[in-house]
Structure 1
Amino acid sequence: MYGIRVIVLLAAAGLAQAAEPAGGAKVGICYNYGCAREGVVRYAAAELDGLAARLDTARTAAEERALLGEAVGRLYRLAGGQIPVGADRSGNYLDGGADGRMDCIDHSTSTTRLLKLLESRGALRFHRVGEPERRTWFILQHFSAVIEELTLAERLERLPPGSALARCNCTEDGLMVEGPEGEEAPGAGERYAVDSWFVDNGEAAVVLPLAEWLNGGGPNVQ
Structure 2
Amino acid sequence: MFSPLSPTAIMAVAALLIVTACASQSTSEATGWFGTHDGVPPKANKVYICHGFGCVYKTPVEYSRQDLARLRVILVSGRASPSAERQAIAHAVAWQERRVAVTVGSEEDVGGFDIENAGVSGQMDCIDESTNTTSLLLVTQKHKMLRHHDVSAPVARGFFLDGRYPHATATVTEKKTGTVYAVDSWVNANGKRPDIMPIDHWLAEGDRWFLST
Shift of the 8–132 alpha-carbon distance from structure 1 to 2, 3 Å rule, reads closer
Q: Identity, % of aligned pairs?
A: 31
The question of 1:75 aligning with 2:125 is answered no
Q: CA deviation at 1:192?
A: 0.3
For the residues of structure 2 that align with 1:132 and 1:8, how far apart are their CA atoms? 7
Superposed, 1:67-216 pairs within 5 Å as 67-93=88-114, 96=117, 98-138=120-160, 140-151=165-176, 188-216=177-205
TM-score when scaled to structure 2? Answer: 0.75
Paired amino acid for 2:95: R
Q: Which residue of 2 is the match for residue 180 of structure 1?
A: none
Q: Which residue of 1 is the match for residue 72 of structure 2?
A: 52
TM-score when scaled to structure 1? Answer: 0.72
Q: Which residue of 1 is the match for residue 59 of structure 2?
A: 39
SS at match of 1:91: coil
The question of 1:16 aligning with 2:41 is answered yes
Q: CA deviation at 1:198?
A: 0.9
Q: CA deviation at 1:53?
A: 2.0
Q: CA deviation at 1:109?
A: 1.2
CA deviation map 1:103-148 (0-9, x unaligned): 0011111111111111111110000000110101425210000000
Shift of the 142–68 alpha-carbon distance from structure 1 to 2, 3 Å rule, reads same
For the residues of structure 1 that align with 2:127 and 2:67, how far apart are their CA atoms? 26
Q: Is the CA contact 2:24–2:156 (under 8 Å) kept in the aligned structure 1? A: no
Q: Is the CA contact 1:129–1:148 (under 8 Å) kept in the aligned structure 2? A: yes
Q: CA deviation at 1:87?
A: 2.5
Cα RMSD for the two superposed structures = 2.5
Q: CA deviation at 1:84?
A: 1.8
Q: CA deviation at 1:28?
A: 0.5
Q: How many residue pairs were aligned? A: 178
Q: CA deviation at 1:8?
A: 7.0
